[in-house]
Every structure is written in C-alpha cells, then in structure tokens.
Chain A
Amino acid sequence: MMPFIIKNLPILIVITPLMFSLIVAVLNNNRLAWTLSTFASFLTMIFTIFLCFEVSYKSNISYYLGNWPPPLGIEYVIDRISIIPIMIVSVIGLIATLFAHNFFTLEIDEKLVSKTYSLWLLTIAGLIGLITTADAFNLFVFLEISSLSAVALVALGSKVDRKALVAGYNYLILGAVGATFYVIGVGLLYGVTGTLNMGDLAQKIPALGLNKSVIVAFTFMMLGIMVKAAVFPLHIWLPNAYAYAPSPVSVLLAATATKVSIYIIVRISYTIFGSSYEIYSFESLRYILLYLAILAMFAGTIMAIFEKDVKKLLAHSSVAQIGYIVLGISLATSPGIASSFIHLINHALIKAGLFMSIVAMGYYTLKRIDVKTIAGLGRQLPITFFSFVICALSLAGLPLTVGFISKLYLIKAAYMSEGIWLPFLILVSSALSLIYIWKLIEGLWYSKKSLKIEKIRELPEIYLPLLVITFLNIYFGIDAGLIIDNSFIASDALMSGIR
C-alpha cells in the first residue's frame, strides 16, 4: 500500500480534494460535510508533507499521468520550487477548512452548505493542480476549475449582502478574460512548437530566435495570469471579491489564490521562456513589472488608508503586498526571487491570520465589517484581538514576526541590484501601511462600542486555527531558517533553469 501511495503522491494531492468534493456534494448533513472536508484537506496536507520529504531528501518527481510519457501525455512535476506553493495551499487549506464551519452555517442558506463545501474542495484541488502540472494546456484546465469554483463561492455571499453577486460577476468576467488570454498564448506557442509540455517548450523556444508569435504568446500568457494574480492595475476584481465573499472564502482566497498565480508568472517567465530572456529582452519587461510593483505598493496602501470597510481594506493591502512579491520577481536576481518566495509564504500566513481574526470579530456585525461597527470589540474579545495585533504587526514588518524576515530579504535584494532608492520606496510604503494598521488597532481598542449585541463572546471553536496561524507568524519570524533556505534553493533552481 505504502509504496503505491508514495509512487502516486503527485496525483493524490489533486485527486483527494477532487473526489471528496463529489462525495460532499450529495450529503444532506452539514456537519458531516464539514468533517469530511476537514478530513480531505488533512489528507492532502499529509500527502504534501510526504512529498516534501521525497523532494527534499531524494530528488524531483516527474509523474506521468496514466503512464503516458510527455510530450504527448500530461506530466506532473514536483520539485523544490513547486513544493513551496503546494505547501501554502494545503496548510492554509486545512486551517481555513477548520475555521469555516461556524461561518458557513451562519452566512449561507442551510440547503447550500454542503454544496459550498464541495466548491471549496474543488477550489483547493484546482489550485494544487495548477501548481503541479507541467503541461501548459492542463494548466488552463485547472485555472478554470479553480476560478469558476471560486467565483461561485464568492457569489454565495449574497445571503448576507446582495452585492456579492456583482462582485462574483466581475470576478467571473475578468477571470474569463485572463484565462482566455492565457489560452490564446498557449495556442500560439503550440502552433510554432507543436508541444504543450513546459520542459519541451523551454527547449524548443530558443531555437526559434526572434519569432513574433512567440513574443505575442508570451505577452498574452503573462497578461492573462497577471489578471489572475491581481497585479496592479489588473486588480480591480479583487477588493470586492474579497469583501463580499463569505468569511471563510475571503480567508482561503486571500491567502492562496493570488499566490498560486504569482507562482505561475514565475514559472512562465523563468521556466518556459527562461533560457531565451535576452532574445525577448526581458530587461524591458522587467522594468515594466518593477514600475507596476512600485505603483501597486503605493496605490494599494493609499486605498487601504482611506477605506472604511475592513475586509476591503485588507484586500487593498493585499494589492500592495502583491506589489512587494512582484517587485522581488522583477529584480531578476537569485536573492530577489528568493525574497519573493519568502514573502509568498509569509504573506499567506499574515493575511490568513488577519482575515480570520477580523471576520471572527465581524461574526456579530455580520453585514458589513466597518471600522465603526467593530469599534471597541478588541476589549471584549481579547484572544481574537491578540491574534489580530500579532498578524497586523507582522503585516507592517516588525521584528520577531514573519513580515520582518520578508522585508529584510526583499530590501537587501533590492539594494543589491538597484541601489538605495528602491529600498527607500519600499520602506516608505511600509511605513505608510502602519497608518491603516494603526487605525484598525486603535479602533478596536479605544472607541466606545457602537454595537448593541448583548452576547458578545469569544468563539472557542476557532481558537485552534486562529492560534496556530498566530503562532506560525511568530515562530517563523524567529526560526526563519527553514523558509529562507528553501526559498533560496528554489530561486537558485529557477535561475539555473533546471526543472
């Protein structure tokens, strides 16, 4: 049994949530649906941990789906690079599933809850599939699976606020545009190379020289994924989608969805087109990404400062944080990409913690988590408030939290390749981010409560996921070696073009 599992791990991490999503869909018992979903995501995480050991101590895994060898068959690849986002999705997936139950029962029609869990698992399966696949077209399939189910999840927020339907619709349209752009690019590449396997593409593209279809294909693919990754200014779908989605969905999407898309940006630009950068003058594209990242840092932060809806505020801050991650990529050096990976992991931890603690406080206000409606709640919910403060300080990048480690390495990388001006811009924007963080902390702590709900109490059901995330935020801020080392290994592997 064990060798069979080990051998098929790369597909098991995708199949497990996929299969369970089918089972969960037909259940009538909501609690059972939740238990099964938790079990499925737990299983996925166990498999991922096995994979981690396989990849770290043995070698990269190349898995042929149905034993069809590439370039004809679909290949799944797990290496030191892809294991990072897989780990993020499976760990956050489990934590968010543990967290979800109270909120789904409250925020969604009773009849729809088990279906929601089905969509939930489907999203997780799609995201993991996106990371593992080494086939450009198969990637498109998973892209659609994950984003369509995510759209449906967002729209389910309509019981609380009808605006969720509009938010979901926007997400659907823009997501579809992004996916279409991507598939156009893939089509063009297939036309000139006759292959869809990423490794194969990487070998054939340099031979084509200055081929216009390749340039156009690259542009289309990048633009398509940049919409999905919410790179400024293609981020407009994001704030509303995060704000109006049911609370657990905000947690899951904020912590994982955009991260996976950023990973795909890295894969496209370094693995598929990597060896031919100079021909397609990545230099100029690099600067486009760099300037967009800087704009994102400031635009996101400033929007967050003036935002009153707390979930939207966190979403704007996500736009800024995506800016930091893209900035690292755009430096096109090994430390730069490593810093991006570090922040990819750390930001997932930070945002999951922030969304979890803020929606836990919003459990009582339900409709809109406004800066005013949650005023003074911090004193009534000390444990939730504590988690919120730790994660918020981590977002601002203060020492002894994971955010500090990200900032340290991002600034070092930026200084090494661009000089002092870039670190300065990064730090100014992160100092500005203190303003909105402080606004929230002050609001939660000081103001008289405006809420007229008598039974405000902590939710002990969510202590486990919430405190685990908070603990991780501090733990990896001190014992950061694991994250740093693996990020550097991944970025070195990427830069050397080994897949």
Chain B
Amino acid sequence: MANEFYIYLSILTPLIAFFTTPLLSSNPNLRDSLGPIGGIITFYSSFNIASLYLDGEVLSFTFFQISETLSISFKITGLGVIFGLVASGLWILASIYTIGYMRGNKEKNQTRFFTFYSIAIFAAICIAYSGNLLTLFIFYEVLTFSTYPLVAHKQNEEAKKAGRIYMGILVGTSIVFLLPAIIIVWVLTGSLDFSTNGILKGNISYEHVPFLLALFAFGIGKAALMPFHKWLPAAMVAPTPVSALLHAVAVVKAGVFSMLVVITYVFGIDFLTETNGAVWLIWISSITLLLSSCIAITKDDLKARLAYSTISQLSYIVLGGAIATNIAVQGASIHIVMHAVGKITLFFAAGAIYVATHLSKISDLNGMGKSMPLTFVAFFIGSLSIIGVPPMGGSWSKFYLMLGSVEKDYLLVIYILAISTLLNVYYLLEIPAKAFFQQKRTNIQVTKHPLTVYPTFFAAILTIILFIYIEPLKDITNLIFGN
C-alpha cells in the first residue's frame, strides 16, 4: 500500500497544480513556481516508481469500478515507467522555460495558460500509468481537450482555424477509429486490461489482426501517421512552450506510447510476429518517415520544419513497433526518451530565438550564432541527437532499430532509415550552419531572457548524459521485453 502512494503522488501533484494555479493569479511569482515544484515532486515519485518496477514490484490500484469488466484503473507497466519519467522530468525543464518565455514575450492570459499546462501534464501521467484501454482512452481525450486552449491561446482567426484542425483530426480519429477498436477488443476478449503478453491471442482470427491494428494505428491520431498528421503543423500557431509540450513531451509521446502499449500489451509482440499482422504498418510508417522528411526540407518556418521533423521521428517509433521483434520495440521505447529530449532542445532553442529577436524564418537566421552562441550550440547538439550521432542519446535508439530490422531481414527498411538520416542531416544542420558561418544581413536587436537560454542548454547536455548513462533505461526495457 505504501508504495502505491507514489502513483497517487505523481497523479495528484499536477492536478493540485491545476486547481491552485487560478487561485494564485494575483501573485505571478508564486503561481509560476508551482510548475517547477510540481515537476520535481512528480519526477521524484516517477523515479521511485521506476526503481520499484526494477525491483519487480507490481503496483496497481482501481480508481473506479464502473461495471464488472469496465474500470478506471492504474497499473505500472514498463512502458508506462519510461513515459512517466519523460513526462515528469521534462515538465521541470519546460515549466522553468515557460516562465521565461511567457514573461519575455509578455503573453496575455498567463494564468489560464499555466492552468491548462498542468492539466495536460496530469493527463499525460494518467496515460502513462493507465492499467487498461478504457483509462488510456479517457485520458487520451482529456489530453486533447486540455491542450486546445493552449493551441488556441492567441485567440485570433489563425489560432481558431488551427484549433479546428487540431480538434477535428485528433477527436475525429479517436472517435471514429480508436473507440470501435477498443470496443471490439472488449467484445472479443471480455476484458480491457493490459497483460504482459497481450490479450488477443486465441480470441481473434489471423486475417482480422491487420484490420484491428489499422483501427488502432489510425485511431491514435496523436502518433501522426500519414494521412492524419496535419494537426501537428497546424498546432504551430501556439506559443513555443506549448509546441515543446505538444511535440516533445505530452501529446505526441502519448500517441506513440499508446501505439507501443497496444502492440505489446494488447496484441502481444509474439502474436503479431506469428500473424504477420503488422507488416503493412512497416510500409505506412516508412512512407510517413520519408515523405515528412522531404516536406521538412521545403519549410522555411523554423517551427514548421521542426513539426515535420517530429512527424518523421514519430514514425521511427511506430516503425519499431511494427517490425515487432523484441529488439526493435526496445529501440522504439528508448527512442521515446531520446527524441523527447532532443526535440525539446530544438523547440526551446526556437522559442529562445523568437523571444530574443522575434525571428521565426530560417532564412533570417544568418549569422545569428555570434549573438546567441549558447542557444545555437544547444540547437546543434540537439540536432546531432535527433540525427543519431554518438555521443548523443539518439544514437542508441537508431542502433536498436537497425538491429531489429536486420534480425527480420528487412533490408529495405535499413536503406530507408539511412536515407532519412541523410535528410535529417540536411534539414537540421542547415540551421546552425547558417547561424555560425554566414554573414549577418541586418542589425537585429537581441534581448535574451535568461530563463529561456539555460533550460535549452541544459536539455542539450541531457542528450549527452543519456548517451553515457543508458544502463537504467536498458534495464527497464530489458525487463519489459525479456532480452
């Protein structure tokens, strides 16, 4: 019982922050300190949950029993531990950064912003520790709705339109595809609980597996599989801390996390290998991966380029799940962490540049490296991690993904991964290269806010730390996949 306390603590902390933020609107300093404090508490409890998981303890509790087979319940799974650590750990960084951004940029409605920021983290943590598909679905939707006010924060026509695309795709796919998929699982197996080796084996005929998987893959719109990826670039109208939250921490990671959970705990990796039900998904995710990299090259807007880069990186994770060998899925789950840290660095840097100079076009960044050296170095390191160059964390996950595809003899997949890496090099490294080596065109006033620069640099260093201290992460994933 005492150990379950940590689950309560990690779930309740962001919820308490959600309820207390509006009350403290008259005292901005106190209000803004809720984020970092909450982040530290949540991370502390997530850390304890992770070590308990490594000790082999099974933590679970049922919040509410709706009917015999339906319940809102939480259970610690290996994948959940990883996602919980990512969401809570990066919340600390993001909340510090957000203070700098919002103040440096003098945004309006800051209280509302921080309120919904905490509820989004709450939803992400609940998704991480959910014990069955119903709980996962409920908080998946809570996450969508809580991030809407963040996306449409500026409340102008553009934000309204983007908000429509955002909600339309995410809610639409989840209602039309994800919900029936969950109900089909419920009817077939009589249960929605996650189980280590999947629950579908023996309950579904082989030829129906790809269709059910398709309902899940397209229903989880947050994983941004083409053709349901448009919400991600559309959501770029949001302030940059939101983009960081959406594209590195909470939303997209909740999407790919749900994908991996469905693949490992609902279908079961062995069952998918046995039925070959996921082969089509390999090709869909490969296409998404390549196409979005190509689109990213054409984008001159920094955040739009990062958005398409995110779509492509998410497909790495889905691809790992679709290859459906233990090593590939292990790589995919490590990539959740690596991409989160790498991408949050890039978004932080983009926001720091915007706060300091109000520039958002890549072509305007020529020669800016001298005025903002720390930020651009951080951007450079983050890019290397996304590309997968040692000694950055991103190299590990790519290594495992390649290993997985070799194991299954998917040679074409290896070529696709290689081509995509080249494209990554091209469209990401172009930015620091321009900043450091080209001449400045005009004089631009630079007014940095320290709280935007230091978290960015710290995140960049984190990518290097994660390369060296990969062991705990490996232990967790080994425990999940029994390697």
Contact = CB atoms under 8 A, between A and B. Distances in A.
Given A412-B187, A415-B184, A442-B160, A480 B66 contact: yes
A420 B138 contact: no
Given A399-B138, A400-B138, A480-B66, A438 B183 contact: no
A430 interface: yes
8 contacts: A408-B70, A408-B183, A412-B186, A415-B184, A420-B184, A423-B183, A434-B167, A446-B155
B176 A431 contact: yes
Contacts of B137: 399
A470 to B, nearest CB: 16
Interface in B119-149: 137-138, 141-142, 145
Contact of A427 (B141, B142, B180, B187): B180
A198 interface: no
A446 B159 CA distance: 10
Contacts of B160: 442, 446
Contact of A397 (B67, B175, B183): B175
Given A408-B70, A408-B179, A420-B180, 4 more contacts: A415-B187, A430-B175, A431-B175, A434-B167
Contacts of A349: none
B187 to A, nearest CB: 6
A484 B64 CA distance: 14
B323 interface: no
Contacts of B145: 393, 398
Interface in A387-419: 393, 396-400, 405, 407-408, 411-412, 415-416
Interface in B150-183: 155, 160, 164, 167-168, 171-172, 175-176, 179-180, 183
A32 interface: no
Chain A residues touching B, majority SS: helix
A481 B65 contact: yes
A283 interface: no
A480 B72 CA distance: 12
A438 B160 CA distance: 11
Interface of A: 393, 396-400, 405, 407-408, 411-412, 415-416, 420, 423-424, 427-428, 430-431, 434, 438, 442, 446, 478-481, 484-485
Nearest to A434: B171
Contacts of A424: 176, 180
B180 A478 contact: no
Contacts of A408: 70, 179, 183
Contacts of B172: 431, 434
Contacts of A430: 175
Contact of B167 (A438, A478, A480): A438
A427 B167 contact: no
Contacts of B167: 434, 438
Given A400-B142, A411-B180, A481 B171 contact: no
Contacts of B164: 438, 442
Contacts of A399: 137-138, 141-142
Nearest to A427: B176
Contacts of A416: 187
Contacts of A393: 145
Shortest beta-carbon contacts, A-B, top 6: A399-B138, A427-B176, A431-B175, A399-B141, A423-B180, A431-B172
- Indicate the size class of the contact surface on chain B: 20 to 34
A430 B172 CA distance: 9
Contacts of A405: 66
B67 A480 contact: yes
Chain B residues touching A, majority SS: helix
B203 to A, nearest CB: 14
A481 B183 contact: no
Given A399-B142, A407-B179, A446-B155, A478 B171 contact: no
Contacts of A412: 183, 186-187
Nearest to A423: B180
Given A398-B141, A438-B164, A480-B66, A415 B180 contact: yes
Interface of B: 64-67, 70, 72, 137-138, 141-142, 145, 155, 160, 164, 167-168, 171-172, 175-176, 179-180, 183-184, 186-187
B288 to A, nearest CB: 23
Nearest to A445: B155
A411 B172 CA distance: 16
A411 B184 CA distance: 9
A3 B315 CA distance: 70
A402 to B, nearest CB: 12
A497 B171 CA distance: 41
A478 B70 CA distance: 11
A415 B64 contact: no
A390 B160 CA distance: 20
Given A399-B142, A434-B171, A438-B167, A415 B66 contact: no
A438 B172 CA distance: 12
A442 B145 CA distance: 13
A415 B183 contact: yes
Nearest to A397: B175
Contact of A411 (B70, B141, B155, B179): B179
Contacts of B142: 399-400
A214 to B, nearest CB: 37
Contact of A478 (B64, B176, B184, B187): B64
Of B64, B155, B180, B187, the most chain A CB neighbours within 10 A belong to: B180
Contacts of A485: 67
Nearest to B140: A399
A408 to B, nearest CB: 7
A209 to B, nearest CB: 38
A398 B179 CA distance: 11
B159 to A, nearest CB: 9
B275 to A, nearest CB: 19
A354 B168 CA distance: 22
Nearest to A393: B145
Nearest to B141: A399
A443 to B, nearest CB: 11
Nearest to B135: A399
Nearest to B72: A478
Of A399, A420, A427, the most chain B CB neighbours within 10 A belong to: A399
Nearest to B156: A446
Contacts of A480: 66-67
Of A411, A428, A484, the most chain B CB neighbours within 10 A belong to: A411
B66 A484 contact: yes
B211 to A, nearest CB: 9
A412 B185 CA distance: 10
A428 B172 CA distance: 8
Contacts of B138: 399-400
Nearest to B179: A427
A88 B152 CA distance: 38
Contacts of B72: 478
B178 to A, nearest CB: 10
Contacts of B171: 396, 398, 431, 434
A416 B184 CA distance: 9
A250 B358 CA distance: 52
Contacts of A396: 171
A415 B186 CA distance: 11
A407 B186 CA distance: 14
Contacts of A423: 180, 183
A290 to B, nearest CB: 18
A372 to B, nearest CB: 16
B187 A484 contact: no
A232 B476 CA distance: 57
A46 B175 CA distance: 39
Nearest to A430: B175
A484 B70 CA distance: 11
B186 to A, nearest CB: 7
Nearest to B149: A445
B223 to A, nearest CB: 19
B64 A479 contact: yes
Contacts of A397: 175
Contacts of B180: 411, 415, 420, 423-424, 427
Contacts of A400: 138, 142
